[in-house]
Structure 1
């Protein structure tokens, strides 16, 4: 499987786990707790596989940056959290930073 696809699946797993962490209500709801444990475990495993082929600086920047942006959007959609212009601008800066790392030669 291509490394960037593994990384994409790692990001999705991490996002699901983080949203489940919020839904777990302090680890008091069993189904979300299982999703947290499985999601983070799967995410780190896929991240480790991606790191075999992608430099760590680029891999972690993409994983954390894209994950952060998706979690912010997921929080708005799933939990009714607020989104304003400053939050959107901040997320755009994160995405631009990840893109900048990629363009700067992080990928092989």
Structure 2
């Protein structure tokens, strides 16, 4: 399959199907584990969207925080969301903890102090 054919097929995939596909991969045992644990990375970054003229009274801010839970070995996003830059990334992590289980190893950088 060529890259162009793959991109064309991927464009037809509904975004709402991705969580179901991720769950199927997990249930089929196709997600690699490290010592029996699923590796889940958490991180957030500030993203800047292009600025353009808008007549909307409350246009979206150009800077937002993108937060994600990522399965590095499988190269899959477990969860992703956009938030205001006025909200702390740690709070986003707390809101996504329900996506984790007792067999997950959460990987974080030094910006997330924890016990």
TM-score (norm: length of structure 1) = 0.29
| Higher radius of gyration, 1 or 2 | 2
Q: Which has the higher contact order (CA 8 A, sep 6+)?
A: 1
TM-score (norm: length of structure 2) = 0.28
1 or 2, which has the higher helix percentage?
Answer: 1
